[in-house]
Copies of this chain bind each other. A is one copy, B any other.
Amino acid sequence: MENFEFCNPTKIIFGKGILDRLGDEVRALGEKCILVTGKKSARETGVYNQVKSKLKEAGIEVLDLSGVQSNPVLSKVHEGIGMARKEGVSFLVALGGGSVMDTAKAVAAGALYDGDIWEVFEGKGEITGALPVVCIPTLAASGSEMNGFMVITNEESGYKLAAGSPHTYPRISFLAPELTFTVPRDYTAYGGVDAICHVLEPYFNGPDPFTPVQDEIAEGLIRTLMPATKRCMEEPENYQQRAALMWAATLALNGLTRAGVGDHPFPVHLIEHSLSAIYGIPHGAGLAALLPGWMKWKATLKGAKKVAWFGIRCLGCTDKGNEKDTALEAADAFGRWLSKVECPRSLSELDIPEKDHEKIAQNALFQSRIWGIENDYNENVIKEILSFCQ
């Protein structure tokens, strides 16, 4: 195990009927908030009105920042920052998926940042404070409800970049599995794939220290996420399956599985951010298209041990006597599972042609530099990975 720090102060309130506690829990945060929402689903399901009423009943003035899109954009963040500053709001409530939560965090940090918050995403500035954020996720996927990360797309430059800070952990997150009953089949699957990828990247990409605690937790989360994703597609109103998917997705990126595994890049997320920035595809679909190829690239060129373990411990693969063959079988088995949950398992399935690899690699390289991993993930390596994913 490598040295680590772990501190996750987010308060989780999980279960049925929990929104009744919203007013009591957030009253101490101030008298004026911004309610951040997406395009329409929270309004259609009625939860938008429910949340707004609870806040107003608690004596809180509510301003709206609505219309946040998938792959959320910087202009919306700027709009929110302007509103927060002009109106002197005390906190934000994010009601939606990862895009909404990430937008709220970026507004919360940006409102107190001296300059354009995009500087932070480009690695040219640091978050030194943020307004409190309360999350009410309506999708099990990003884990944003219990971490300090946010991912924003600058629609002018065409880059989708991540930032994070101890200041942008949500103060409280209300995890109500019933709010995810209306998530459609495809986004249920994309969410499950996103959470699985959050677990797999540190699991596969660390420096191979001895980390039995972290490996057990990672494998346990994946063994939960895979069947729960499928069951939630088949039975969208199965509370227990939605609850398992939601809590596992939250724990998948709350720092627990990463603590002690050493430095690890997130190359699949790195490359996927380029895919969704360029093609506007859902994040989970992009990850699905990359994961089997990335596992094959790992197995072939970078050490197959953990991919083989993943196959044996999570997918029921048999040990083929050598790590590489077992790992390649794991990549195939995971690809077959992706097909079962109706996700793409290659770039071809997303109609992304081989000739685009250059463009994708250039975009990804920009992030690679910001993340400081351009030595390991340079243009050639990214193209090499893409060739396995084609």
Give chain A's interface residues, CB within 8 Å of chain B.
1-18, 177, 209-213, 216-217, 219-221, 223-224, 228, 240, 243-244, 247-248, 251, 256, 259-260
Contact = CB atoms under 8 A, between A and B. Distances in A.
Contacts of A219: 216, 220
B12 A7 contact: yes
A220 B256 CA distance: 14
B14 A3 contact: yes
Q: How many copies does the complex hold?
A: 2
28 contacts: A1-B14, A1-B15, A1-B240, A3-B14, A3-B16, A4-B14, A5-B11, A5-B12, A5-B13, A6-B12, A7-B10, A8-B8, A14-B259, A14-B260, A210-B240, A210-B244, A211-B244, A212-B223, A212-B224, A212-B228, A213-B220, A213-B244, A213-B248, A216-B219, A216-B220, A217-B220, A220-B220, A243-B260
A219 B213 CA distance: 11
A76 to B, nearest CB: 30
A221 B213 contact: yes
Contacts of A228: 212
B9 A14 contact: no
B217 A247 contact: no
A260 B6 CA distance: 22
A165 to B, nearest CB: 15
10 shortest interchain CB distances as A-B pairs = A216-B220, A3-B15, A7-B11, A1-B243, A6-B12, A210-B240, A9-B9, A212-B224, A213-B248, A220-B220
Nearest to A228: B212
